[in-house]
Each structure stands twice: as C-alpha cells, then as structure tokens.
Amino acid sequence: MDSLTQIVLGAAVGEAVLGKKVGNRAMLWGAIAGTIPDLDVFLRYFVDDITSTEMHRGFSHSIVFAVLMAPILGWIASRIHKKRKEATLKNWCWLFFWAIVTHPLLDAHTTWGTQFFWPFEYRLAYKNIFVIDPLYTLPFLILLIIAMFHKRTNPRRRIFNNAGLIVSTSYMLLTLIFKWISFGEFQESLDANHIEYVEMDLKPTPLNSVLWNAQVETKTGYRVAYYSLFDSKDIEFSHEFPKNHHLLDPYKDQNVVQQLIKMSSGWYFIEKESDKLIFYDMRFGQVGMDQDDSKFMWKYDLTVNSDGKVEVERGRPDVSNVSQMFDELLKRIKGN
C-alpha cells in the first residue's frame, strides 16, 4: 500500500499495543516502524533496476525481518524513553514487532504481494485491493486523528483507535467478497462465450474496489475484460494478445530474462518492434480503459548487444492525459 496508509496502520497498531502507557509516543513510533519495510526502495542505489524491482517486498517484508528488527528498535526506543517507567523493554519490542509485521500483511493484499515467508520464494498476493484506495485509508486516518486528540487515559481514545482498525479491516474483508462476486461473473461469462482458458487472474482497478479487471490466459495468448458491480450488460472480452513466448527462446537462459519472467509470475507477452523485443508485464493492467488497444503499463525494451547479451530498459507508459483516463475510469466504475 501507499506510504500514508502504512503510516496510519503503524500508528494505529502502536496505539493499540502501547498507547495506554505512553500516549502519542506509541503512535509516533508505530508510524515510523510502519514505514521501515519500504526502505528496500533504496536497493536501487546498490543494484541494477531489474534486480532491485525483483527484490522489492522481499526480505524487509517478511516475518523474519520483523522478528530481527523488533528487539533492536525496541531497545533503542526504551533507551530514548528510559526516564519513563510506564513501558518495559518487552512492551517496546511488541510495539515494533506488530507495527512492522502488519506492514507486509497489508501489502499482501495488493497485486505485487510480499515475500512474507522469506527465504522461501513463495509470494503472498491476494490481489483484492489497489495500492491506493481512499475508502480504506481516509476513514482510518480520520478515526486515528480523533483518537490522537484524546488523553491516553481517556477510554474514548482506545474506542476511536479500535474503530479505525475495525472499519479498515471490515473494508478489506468486503473487497474479498467483491472479488469473489466478480470472479463468479467472469467465470460465468467465459462459459457462456465458450472461451476455453488455462487460468484467470483478477484484480481491482485503480483507486476503487468496484471495478475489476480480469486477465484470462488461453493456450496461445491472453484476453482482458472489465466488470463493475454496477454493470447491467454482459461482460465483453478483448481480442487475444498472442503470447509470443517463443521469441525469448534464444535468450531464456540469460539471468535478466529469467528475472523478468519471475517478476511477471508468468503473466507476460512479447511483441517484436524493429530491432528490439518488448516484454509486457500484464499484472499491473493497462493505461486506459480500451481493453483492445490500451497498452499495458509495465513494459521492458529488450535489445541484444554485439556479445549476444540481452540489455533491458524499462519502458515508460504514456500517461500524458491523466484527466481523460480518470474520467474513463470513473465512467466505467458506474457501470456499462
């Protein structure tokens, strides 16, 4: 999720663990702890762009990281506040553990997911909420701010903080229900249209949990469709995007190509353009609502140098007309 959401969650968890003893200090330290896992973005200064992307939400988003960091940060906080006897070292360690571990647990609900069980390769990704969702964050933030302005001994402080945690968690559960409903609609439409498929991947579109995007793998390619909970017409699937995986066969043993395939979780297709190949990672959807013609947001330009090595450059999506894309999204959310 976005940084603001993780700060809010961390602060609320800090308050739930230790707020009654140390007041707003618990929120402050919780907010700090809630941002720490995302410091892995600085990997791009030490490794290449592809490797840093591959490692994102890896070790720092694991339960191992939370277990290792909690006593270190807990000790630091306890030393800073050593004159205050309300909280013990154990209390501070618990605050940091829960504030850190809830970060990857929340991120696991997004498309990219987290390697929560690092060092195992398995990536936890429920794909039921977009990385920025105002309906999750704003009520949570408002209730947290209200709680913050009550004294730590006031029972209303805990009531408002707990309400924020309950409301946000309830909304998260609701998005899972929305995804389940949407999955059923897509599956029914595929059967009705006699479309044979291998696998279907489902995720919400930007900034909402009402409009869902399905990517359907067939034997030879992929098809795309959208469904809004407010739709009244049948679901329409795009034309088939050919996989063209065979175009990578001469380079498949190269590490950078393996990295791209791994990052895409196998959801990719290739296009040939003059002297280069374009690797489209489908998981993050298209730029625009035209399911037949809109380009996919994440792409990589692959060229082969004189030594036969593949060189990769991340392609930049065309987002020159954001307002129009937002208008199209809003219109589609309202139903077809």
pLDDT digits (tens, 9 = 90+) for 2-53: 999 999 999 999 999 999 999 999 999 999 999 999 999 888 888 888 888 8
Distance CA(7)–CA(19), nearest Å, equals 16
Helix ranges restricted to H, 250-295: 255-263
Kindly tell me if the per-residue pLDDT of 319 is higher than 80: no
pLDDT bucket at 173, cuts 50 / 70 / 90: very high
What is the arithmetic mean of pLDDT over 154-175? 97
256 three-class SS: helix
pLDDT at 325: 87
The token duo for 122 is 């398995």
What's the DSSP call for residue 47? S
Kindly tell me if the per-residue pLDDT of 84 is higher than 90: no
Nearest to 215 by CA among 232, 191, 240, 193: 240
pLDDT at 161: 97
Q: Calculate helix-pair angle for 89-107, 63-80, nearest 10 degrees.
A: 140
pLDDT at 238: 95
